[in-house]
Amino acid sequence: MPGNLVLILGDQLSPSISSLQQADRARDRVLIAEVSAEATYVKHHKKKIAFLFSAMRHFAEELRADGWQLDYVRLDDAENTGTLSGEVARFAERHDVRRIVLTEPGEWRLARDIDAWSAELNRPVDVLPDERFVASREEFAAWADGRKQLRMEYFYREMRRKTGLLMDGDRPIGGKWNFDAENRKAASSDLFMPAPLGIEPDGITREVLDLVGREFAGHIGDLEPFWFAVTRDDAEAAFELFVREALPRFGDFQDAMLRGEKFLYHSVVSLYINAGLLEPLAVCRRVEAAYAAGDVPLNAAEGFIRQIIGWREYVRGIYWLKMPDYACSNFFGADRPLPEFYWSGETDMACLAAAVRQTREEAYAHHIQRLMVTGNFAMLAGIEPRQVHEWYLAVYADAYEWVELPNTLGMSQFADGGLLGSKPYAAGGNYINKMSDYCGACRFDVKQKTGDSACPFNYLYWDFLARNRDKLDGNPRLGPVYRTWDRMTADKQASYRESAAEFLATLF
């Protein structure tokens, strides 16, 4: 009797994935495929492609060792069709499968394609829920139903109650749900900075690096040095190192930025979680245990756990609740093209140069670099949100549309008009100067407000607020800011607007 095709996607590298849990090793057969369509629908960073292909190959070996029958299609296999649909069809012909089984994909475009497979292949297609998330899509939709505001903080509290993480009965340990106010310290260069665990590439990874260097030479980014973990054991070792060496100070300095320090106290494990090498709830339980043992302070443990069961779960819920229309959000009607320096890193603005060059090198930048440097500049400058979204999706190793799109369009660009955030994350140069040491090495002067030598963030900030006043004037959190603008003389206001226009003219 023919068995089923069990399709494993590139971000489903978990033995606990629902499609495997419901499969039969003796009868069913697994398919994992490297296809060009998934590597090129945006031009993904070379290091991101290499990470996923190597992790997929290692996961295939793990499954074979565990007794699974498995077909693995490499990118350069002669008969590779280049698409998941094509490879599923080819597999179905090869093995005469009864039905196709997979765990729900993370991206809407794949879900749309999969909806057509049953008719195209004349076989049933079973799409199972992704049980690696705390909240199902249906649970989030039920939570959102009837609410005037979908604020993450209230959803996060529900996830704390559901999981029991950092809870004392029905109350949060420490008496507060959120310790974010304690997590905004600026770092200094004399701090000890632990490095994330680097893994020497093995033979499988070396083959992948050669393949990616050959096939994706025109994509952004440095391929080597390649140090990402590509197996479950190595990803777990990387996380354990973070818990021991960096987590105790992660909370205090998670918003800080320093020249020459790419990672500070960040975990750099989001790529492993999002690809399936680490289980989200398991890493949260490990952090909770470290707090309970007295190894890390509460603000660090809570801040980390909030990113996983709060923000990560929340943006996934928003994505599936609002797609596909959400991808077209453009509240401000921004229409400028993405500047070339987002790809090259060639700009005199030290903060942007550092963030983009690091991104080119590592396929990584931490959340404040993304939100308050590259994201803040794009919003202030009026860059079209979809171009910003596609850049973030392409360049970061942890980026998948379900998590990246709401973060970019909602939190970073305020393109959804306030669905995610209560106000735009807009800031002038003073914020960057406070949280980093970039400004001391910049050719622009953060203390100057207008003119050729002034920090562009300063005048772009006021220009952004002035040109979008009709959309933002009613925002209660911006009332004091607009009152400050109104107290300025007409000449001062004009100076800000003129400096912004002159600067933007040099970019486009």
* 184, HSE (Cβ side, Cα atoms, 13 Å): 8
Q: How many domains does the chain have?
A: 3
Owner of token pair 């509240």:
331
For residue 70, list its beta bridge partners.
Answer: 30
- Report whether 387 contacts 338 (CB < 8 A): yes
User: For residues 214, 216, 218 and 224, what is the CA-based torsion angle, rounded to 10 degrees?
Assistant: -80
Statement to judge: residues 498 and 395 lie in one domain: yes
Owner of token pair 């033995």:
15
Give a yes or no: residue 204 inside a domain: no
Statement to judge: residues 371 and 478 lie in one domain: yes
**75, 79, 124: which is closest to 102 by C-alpha?**
124
Statement to judge: residues 355 and 464 lie in one domain: yes
Give a yes or no: residue 221 inside a domain: no
The dihedral sign for the CA sequence 306, 228, 46, 131: negative
At residue 336, the 3 state secondary structure works out as: strand
Out of 108, 128, 148, a domain closes at: 128
CA 193 to chain CA centroid, nearest Å: 23
Statement to judge: residues 402 and 285 lie in one domain: no
Owner of token pair 């980026």:
399
Out of 94, 128, 162, a domain closes at: 128
**28, 50, 23, 54: which is closest to 39 by C-alpha?**
50
Token digits of residue 269: 């494990």
Give a yes or no: residue 331 inside a domain: no
Task: Give pLDDT, residue 184.
Answer: 67
Do the strands 167-168 and 125-128 form a parallel or antiparallel pair, or are they unpaired? unpaired
- Report whether 83 contacts 37 (CB < 8 A): yes
Assign 3-class secondary structure to 144-156: HCCCCCCCHHHHH
User: For residues 326, 328, 329 and 330, what is the CA-based torsion angle, rounded to 10 degrees?
Assistant: 170
Rounded distance, CA 508 to CA 112, Å?
Answer: 36
Residues 6+ apart with CB under 8 A from 139: none
At residue 31, the 3 state secondary structure works out as: strand
- Report whether 496 contacts 449 (CB < 8 A): yes
Give a yes or no: residue 62 inside a domain: yes
- Residue 406's CATH number: 1.10.579.10
One-letter identity of residue 105: P
Statement to judge: residues 296 and 373 lie in one domain: no
Statement to judge: residues 177 and 309 lie in one domain: yes
Statement to judge: residues 447 and 304 lie in one domain: no
For residue 7, list its beta bridge partners.
Answer: 31, 102
Out of 76, 94, 128, a domain closes at: 128
- Residue 162's CATH number: 1.25.40.80
Give exposure, 238-271, as e/b (b: 16+ Cβ within 10 Å): bbebbbebbbbbbbbbbbbbbeebbbbbbbbbbb
Residues 6+ apart with CB under 8 A from 66: 15
Task: Give pLDDT, residue 248.
Answer: 87
pLDDT tens over the chain, length 508 residues: 579 999 999 999 999 999 999 999 999 999 999 999 999 999 999 999 999 999 999 999 999 999 999 999 999 999 999 999 999 999 998 898 999 999 999 999 999 999 999 999 999 999 999 999 999 999 999 999 999 889 999 999 999 999 999 999 999 999 999 987 766 677 666 566 788 999 999 999 999 999 999 999 999 999 999 999 999 999 999 999 999 998 888 877 777 888 888 888 888 999 999 999 999 999 999 999 999 999 999 999 999 999 999 999 999 999 999 999 999 999 999 999 999 999 999 999 999 999 999 999 999 999 899 999 999 999 999 999 999 999 999 999 999 999 999 999 999 999 999 999 899 999 999 999 999 999 998 999 999 999 999 999 999 999 999 999 999 998 999 999 999 999 999 999 999 999 999 999 998 7
Give a yes or no: residue 164 inside a domain: yes
Put the strands of the sheet holding 5-7 in their side by side order: 70-73, 29-33, 5-7, 100-103, 125-128
Statement to judge: residues 298 and 390 lie in one domain: no
pTM for the model: 0.95
- Residue 72's CATH number: 3.40.50.620
Give a yes or no: residue 207 inside a domain: no
Statement to judge: residues 20 and 118 lie in one domain: yes
Statement to judge: residues 382 and 453 lie in one domain: yes
Statement to judge: residues 411 and 476 lie in one domain: yes
- Report whether 43 contacts 49 (CB < 8 A): no
Can you list the alpha helix ranges (DSSP code H) found in 296-345? 298-305, 313-322, 341-344
For residue 59, list its beta bridge partners.
Answer: none
Task: Show the CA angle centred on residue 170, arms to residues 175 and 305, nearest 5°.
Answer: 65
Statement to judge: residues 474 and 420 lie in one domain: yes
Residues 6+ apart with CB under 8 A from 462: 428, 485, 493, 496, 497, 500
Instruction: Quote the domain boundaries for residue 78.
Output: 5-128
Give a yes or no: residue 392 inside a domain: yes
Give a yes or no: residue 232 inside a domain: no
CB atoms within 10 A of CB 80: 17
- Per DSSP (E only), the strands in 129-217 are 167-168, 171-172
